[in-house]
Amino acid sequence: MIYLLITVALAFFTQSLTGFGSGLISMAILPGILGIQFAVPLVALMSMSLELFLLFRFRNAFCFQEIWFIGLAAVIAIPGGVWLLRRLDEGMLIMILGVIIVCYSTYALLNLRLPELKHPGWGILTGLLAGLLGGAYSIAGPPVIIYASCRKWQPDKFRGNLQWIFIIVDVFSVANHWLAGNITSSVLKNFLWIIPVIFFSLLAGSYVERFINPKLFRKIVLVLLLAMGIRWIVSVL
């Protein structure tokens, strides 16, 4: 429980300070503590609580025409992700998780400039990937963030569109995990314990932001994520 609470505090402190990382940090650490089958639905509940908290703040900063097909594609793909979580060998799940974390951390650290995407088909593909990753790992962020960067959305639209996509993915992921029997009484009990930690960490990050360079802290977190991703890959080989 202590390791769980420390991980959640770190994940949501980072989210508040840098605007990203709660799902990736949680899934980089918690499978080693709880097991991946337990960690994924727990992180889904945590992510949903965060998005509901942020929803009011970004309720008007989104463009429905630019996200509805992404959300729809994600909803279609989420059951497939949940099915993979239940069917794939844990070693394979850990290996794929490590590859995802390494790829995204490398992309973010290198600050790669990708070409602008205009065709709506890319949004559908993004939604499908986000749904699969959201259902299987509760980390729908990487493909959506990369897509949003390639669409050159302005900062307010970027944050607003992403929050609405994430809330769609999180709500339907939780619903699918519930129907699949992945959200057990033990998962719910742990989630209730960590709710106060989530909101305390968000507030702490907002307060500490004035004393810490968020960009430097973000790079440190990305390096640690890269190391954790490599560790997961090596542990399976």
Mean pLDDT of 164-169: 87
Q: Select, from the ranges 104-118, 188-202, 214-228, the one with the highest average predicted confidence (pLDDT).
A: 188-202
pLDDT tops 90 at residue 76: yes
- Rounded mean pLDDT, 75-82: 94
CA triple 144-147-148, angle to 5 deg: 85
Give me the mean pLDDT over the 28-56 stretch: 87
Q: What is the pLDDT of residue 62?
A: 63
Cβ-contact 131, 76 below 8 angstroms? yes
Percent of the chain residues topping a pLDDT of 70 = 95
pLDDT higher than threshold 90 for residue 12: no
- Mean pLDDT on 144-153: 83
- Given this model, what pLDDT does residue 206 score? 77
Question: How much is the pLDDT for 79?
Answer: 95
pLDDT value, residue 61: 61
63 compared with 97, residue with greater pLDDT: 97
**Long-range pairs of 22-27 with CB within 8 A, sequence gap ≥ 24:** 22/46, 22/47, 22/50, 23/47, 23/138, 23/139, 23/140, 23/141, 24/101, 24/104, 24/139, 24/141, 24/142, 24/225, 25/221, 25/225, 26/138, 27/97, 27/101, 27/137, 27/138, 27/139
pLDDT digits (tens, 9 = 90+) for 214-232: 778 888 888 988 998 898 8
Contact 134, 169 (CB under 8 A): yes
d(CA 204, CA 14): 10
Token pair, residue 150, equals 């390639």
In the predicted structure, residue 207 carries a pLDDT above the cut 90: no
pLDDT at 59: 62
> Mean pLDDT in the chain?
86
Spatial distance between the Cα atoms of 174 and 48, rounded to a whole number of angstroms:
8
Contact 236, 95 (CB under 8 A): yes
For residue 236, give both structure tokens. Answer: 């399976």
How far is it, in rounded angstroms, from Cα 222 to Cα 198?
21
CA 191 centroid distance within chain: 16
Say what the pLDDT of residue 171 is. Answer: 92
The whole-angstrom separation of Cα 26 and Cα 129 is 19
The number of folded domains in the chain is 1
Domain of residue 48 covers: 2-236
Q: Quick check: 74 and 131 in contact, CB under 8 A? A: yes
